[in-house]
Amino acid sequence: MKNIILSVIIIFSAITFNSCDSEKKQNKSPEYVLVIHGGAGRILKENISPEKEKQYILKLSEALASGAEILKNGGPSLDAVETAINILEDSPLFNAGKGAVFTEKGENEMDASIMDGRTLNAGAVAGVKTIKNPISAARKVMTNSKHVLLGGEGAEEFAAAVGLEIVEPAYFYTPEKWERFKKAKQKLQSKEKTEKHGTVGAVALDKHGNLAAGTSTGGMTMKMFGRIGDSPIIGAGTYANNNTCAVSATGHGEYFIRNVVAYDISALMEYKKWNLEKASDFVINEKLKSQNGSGGVITVDKDGNISMPFNTEGMFRGYINSNGEMRVLLYK
Ligand code: ASP
């Protein structure tokens, strides 16, 4: 823990967080890479106080440092992905776990999924209300059940049976997301456009060449009771394949489901032999954009290249690798 805090402090002093993504190309293929996101949307410098900005940067840095520690020690990409996402789930800052947004009924219903690029195994939970860390439940579905996706009460019962932490629904209440819900409700009545984005995700390449991806979310503010987004849908919000890449998405879920976004990026690489940057940029900035589908993805390929395209004003995102590079970015 001490180590992690120390590295966060060191890293924090070296972070740049307000520049664009087309930063330096790595000269040497990294041995391991971790990329994370904390949601895309109307993330503008003028809307975020310096204090809040600092909190986002610190929490994203902590998630990166903790995941990187695992990868550095030769641990599996799946562990790095789950650990990084757990940290973001436990923070009220993000729309996942503790900070999940509210449905039209004023409740929290969470979705999550995880995929192993080595085996193509996957696990997911949808519409859960009492599992403290939905990404860990998704991983247990992958490893301890013969299914891929469990929903609602069945998923909650399963999570309890495998020893995961169950909490009262009230645990997920945060004043900030409640305010957002009330505002969204008012705006809906006056037919104004509401702000709906925010989700967390991670993709990683480990020292053994294995890719993994995971995504966890509270969904979209004021979503219908029972609505399930792209985050727990393998191929839409999450995908990993050692032959191509690992992808975690965030954005307007319905568009990501209809366009099978995460798998589409992998398929463009597999069948058309496109590189990671071209494939992910095409899907987010051409295909989705032409349909007004807003959001972004974080991706890493089998050679450790990364890309983080988004078609919104901003996306909380960051990466760290074995070449000693680390960045946390919020804006365009
Ligand atoms: N994709 C998530 C959903 O539609 C929301 C988000 O990423 O902001 O549930």
pTM over 0.75: yes
Distance from C-alpha of 309 to C-alpha of 159, rounded to nearest angstrom: 34
The tokens describing 165, both together, are 């932490």
- Tens digit of pLDDT for each residue in 133-149? 999 999 999 999 999 99
Candidate from 7-11, 124-128, 226-230, 322-326 with smallest mean pLDDT? 7-11
Distance from C-alpha of 172 to C-alpha of 101, rounded to nearest angstrom: 9
Distance from C-alpha of 152 to C-alpha of 84, rounded to nearest angstrom: 24
For residue 204, count other CB atoms closer than 10 A to its CB: 34
What pLDDT does 183 receive? 86
For ligand 1, the distance from its centroid to the CA atom of residue 234, given in whole angstroms, is 14
Q: Which residues contact 262 (CB under 8 A, 6 or more apart)?
A: 213, 234, 235, 236, 237, 238, 239, 247, 248, 249, 256, 297
- Tens digit of pLDDT for each residue in 241-274? 999 999 999 999 999 999 999 999 999 999 999 9
Q: How confident is residue 303, by pLDDT bands cut at 50, 70 and 90?
A: very high
Would the CB of 199 count as within 6 Å of ligand 1?
yes
Arithmetic mean of pLDDT, 296-312: 98
What pLDDT does 17 receive? 42
The tally of CA atoms less than 13 A away on the side-chain side of residue 88 is 37
The tokens describing 167, both together, are 């909490």
Q: What is the DSSP string of 69-90?
A: HHHHTT--HHHHHHHHHHHHHT
Q: Which residues contact 274 (CB under 8 A, 6 or more apart)?
A: 268, 282
For ligand 1, the distance from its centroid to the CA atom of residue 301, given in whole angstroms, is 23
Say whether pLDDT at 18 is over 80. Answer: no
Sorted by where each starts, the structural domains of the chain and their CATH numbers stand as 2-331 (3.60.20.30)
- Tens digit of pLDDT for each residue in 175-209? 988 998 888 888 766 544 445 457 999 999 999 99
Q: What percent of the chain has pLDDT over 90?
A: 84
For ligand 1, the distance from its centroid to the CA atom of residue 253, given in whole angstroms, is 5
CA dihedral sign of residues 73, 135, 237, 15: negative
Would the CB of 133 count as within 6 Å of ligand 1?
no
Q: How confident is residue 4, by pLDDT bands cut at 50, 70 and 90?
A: low
**Residue 199 annotated to the active site:** yes
* Ligand 1 atom closest to the CA of 252, numbered from 1: 4
